[in-house]
Chain A
Amino acid sequence: MSDLCRVMCVEDDPDIRMILEFSLEQMGGYTLASCASGQEALDRVKDFSPQLVLLDVMMPKMSGTETLQHLRAMDCMRSVPVVFVTAKAMPDEVEALLACGANGVIVKPFDPVTLPHEIRKYWTQGPDHAD
C-alpha cells in the first residue's frame, strides 16, 4: 500500500494558495502542485500524477465543476479522489457538488492545522489505497 504523497490544489486566490502551501507542504509534508486555474491543472496533471486533487469551485474562465469534468475525462484521473474546497456550504450546494462526481467537499474557511489530516480520509477512497 502506498502512502498519500502528491496533492494538487487548484485555487485562483493567491492568499488561499499561500495558506494551502503552508498547510499541506510545510505542515503536512505532502508534495504539492499548486495551480492558479483549471487550465493549469489540466496542463500539469499528467506529469504530476496527483493522488488527490483539491479544487476550488468559483474560478474565472473555467469553474471547479468544469475542471472536474475535464479531469474525469482523462484516463489517469477517472478514479483519483477530487475534493471541492469551497465557501458554498449550504446543504443543497454541497449535494450538487457531490452529484458532479466529487469525492467530498471541504468548507472554507478551512483550518490549515487540521487540513493535512482531513484530506487523508478522502484519499482512502482512491485507487492508491488498498487494505
Chain B
Amino acid sequence: MPIESTPPSHAHQFEALQRKFVEGLRRRLEEIEAAPDTASQHAALHRLAGAAGAFGYEALGQLARTAMLASRDTPHQLASALAALYSAIQALIAQH
C-alpha cells in the first residue's frame, strides 16, 4: 500500500519502511493494551495516529485517532473504538 505519489526511484525503500512499521505494530498494540493509566494510553494512541498515515495507512491512523479522542472525551465509546483498532492492526499484521 505505497503512497501513490512516491517516486518509482524510492518505492522499494518506502515499502521496506512500511514493513518495518507493520512489524512494530504488535509492540504498539501491547503498549496500548498494557497502558497503566488513561494518559499513557492516550499518548500511545496519539503516537500511532500520527505515524500510521505517514506510512500510507490512513484508515489505521483514523481508527487510532477515534480511540484517542474517545479516551479523552467519550470514555463510553472507548471499548468499541479500541476493538475496531485492534481488529485493523491484526488484519494488517496478518497481511504481511
Contacts and interface: CB of A to CB of B under 8 A. Distances in A.
Interface of A: 12-16, 18-19, 22, 26-27, 58, 86-87, 108-114
Contact of B52 (A26, A58, A109): A109
A6 to B, nearest CB: 22
A111 B14 CA distance: 12
- Of A12, A87, A114, chain B has the most CB atoms within 10 Å of the CB of A87
Contacts, number: 65
Main secondary structure of the interface of B (DSSP, over half): helix
Contacts of B6: 112-113
Main secondary structure of the interface of A (DSSP, over half): loop
Contact of A15 (B3, B49, B51, B65): B51
B50 A13 contact: yes
Nearest to A87: B50
Interface in B8-45: 10, 13-14, 17, 20-21, 24, 43
Contacts of B61: 109
